[in-house]
Amino acid sequence: MAVGREESVYMAKLAEQAERYEGMVEYMQKVADAMGEGEELMVEESNLLFVAYENVIVAHHSSWRIVSSFMQKEGRGNHDHVAAICGYHARIKFELDSIYGGILCLLDARLIPVVTVVDSKVFYLKMKGSNQGLIMGKGGARLLANIASKTEDPQTLRMIAGAIANLCGNEKLHVTLKKDGGIKALLGMVQCGHSDVVAQVARGFSNFAKCESRGISQGHRKGRSLLIEDGVLNWMASSSATFSASTRRHIELAFCHLAQNEDNTLEIIRSGGIKELIRISRESSREDTRNLAKKALDSNPAFSAEIHAA
């Protein structure tokens, strides 16, 4: 490691101790600039880079939320300072956009192209996930799915599944996530059989189903669940009882949310989901999940007809 690079790493550590994270970002950018062609960041350098950007982003987001709150409050009453607050709000937003643009440029141009270790790629993508819209816009879900298809390492798969699970919690990203193979990749990772990976997969489907259910109740989403075409429903209906308690709770909750949508009725019945709903309504460890299962069974005439015909 060149002397200039060593000094920049040292100064980045010093900036971290002094909690001067914008300075830490500057030093880590110097580290990246000092990298030779085809050279990768060391583990310590990667961690410093993540800490630097994460803290700067968190601080700016906090400022943005506080100023947004003031802008709304002043807009309802005292209008004297609204223009000044709006200008300050726009300035913080511009700074945030610049930070995101800087890190995306650094990752896309300097770091991700030269990374050969799968874990490192996931690390960088996880950092890009600080802004989910940008990671999706840059094809992040496709890259995650591609990495998942080429590794059998449980730790790497757990990290990928966790990253996709986080994206599943953003309803605005659902269509792109499915189109780019994120849902299919998430289900495919179940095949590794590792409990920690399956737990992240279940969390992702739970996040996805809850978002869909909320969208329907708020009136801005209609139609069959995007999870159905990739076989997720069949997996949930037949597998929930075989996993750990925490994983099972995620699967049960996801299944119950899918059952609230009448457009999923036929697929629920075909998958044998009526029996699963009955089991959940009686055996789930969570009262709210039991009640959600009972609500689906009681409110859907087709489900009631299937039960009486059995």
Domains of the chain and any CATH numbers: 1-116 (1.20.190.20), 165-310 (1.25.10.10)
* pLDDT for 119: 57
Residue pLDDT, tens place only, 112-163: 665 665 556 555 566 555 566 666 766 778 878 887 888 888 887 888 898 8
- In the chain, what percentage of residues exceed pLDDT 90? 38
- Distance (Å, rounded) from C-alpha 76 to C-alpha 255? 42
Nearest partner of 177 among 151, 211, 214, judged by Cα: 211
Residue pLDDT, tens place only, 225-266: 999 888 899 899 887 667 888 899 999 999 999 999 999 999
Tokens representing residue 96 in the block: 């945030």
Tokens representing residue 169 in the block: 């919690």
Q: Per-residue b/e over 96-126, b at no fewer than 16 CB within 10 Å?
A: beebbeebbebbeeebbeebeebebbbbbbb
Residue pLDDT, tens place only, 11-35: 999 999 999 999 998 998 888 888 8
- Distance (Å, rounded) from C-alpha 271 to C-alpha 248? 18
* pLDDT for 124: 57
**Mean residue pLDDT across the chain:** 84
* pLDDT for 152: 84
The whole-number average pLDDT for the span 265-290 is: 93
Tell the burial category of 237 from Cβ atoms under 10 Å away from its Cβ (0-12, 13-18, 19+). Answer: buried
* pLDDT for 201: 95
- Distance (Å, rounded) from C-alpha 212 to C-alpha 226? 9
* pLDDT for 297: 95
